[in-house]
């Protein structure tokens, strides 16, 4: 995989996670008032993604270039959500992980990452096929 392609993919993953975080806070009407809680959600989510994604081959050229492998970012997000939830709870001294938070984070994250990776794959294949 070319460095540029990997950088685009990883940067897009981070942007998708940032969008996920922003949408989450906005859906609760807290985007403008959340302050550091945004980072306490976004950073653990990125760390959890960075731990899980490579393990599922999400940066392996043989895997990511095949449409039939688009289930992998979905699974990765569902696996990363509990890890991110735990880290977030620790950062916020919450003492407890809210299961609904983890489920919603996993489901919406899976959708956003699936959409992003699908668009990336479509554009990449179009570029390769048309020059």
User: Which tens digit of pLDDT belongs to each residue from 83-92?
Assistant: 999 999 999 9
Q: Label each residue of the chain as H, E or C.
A: CCHHHHHHHHHHHHHHHHHHHHHHHHHCCCCCCCCHHHHHHHHHHHHHHHHHCHHHCCCCHHHHCCHHHCHHHHHHHHHHHHHHHHHHHHHCCCCCCCHHHHHHHHHHHHHHHHHHHHHHHHHHHHHHHHC
Tens of pLDDT, residue by residue over 111-126, are 999 999 999 999 988 8
Looking at residue 115, its pLDDT comes to: 98
Give the pLDDT mean for 12-38: 91
């Amino acid at each position: 995989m070319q460095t540029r392609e990997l950088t685009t993919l990883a940067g897009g993953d981070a942007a998708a996670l940032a969008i996920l975080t922003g949408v989450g806070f906005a859906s609760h009407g807290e985007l403008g008032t959340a302050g550091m809680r945004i980072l306490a959600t976004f950073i653990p989510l990125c760390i959890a993604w960075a731990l899980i994604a490579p393990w599922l081959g999400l940066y392996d050229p043989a895997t990511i270039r095949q449409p039939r492998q688009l289930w992998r970012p979905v699974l990765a997000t569902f696996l990363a959500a509990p890890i991110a939830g735990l880290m977030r709870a620790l950062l916020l001294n919450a003492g407890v992980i809210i299961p609904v938070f983890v489920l919603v984070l996993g489901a919406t994250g899976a959708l956003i990452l699936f959409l992003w990776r699908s668009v990336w794959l479509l554009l990449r294949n179009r570029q390769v096929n048309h020059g």
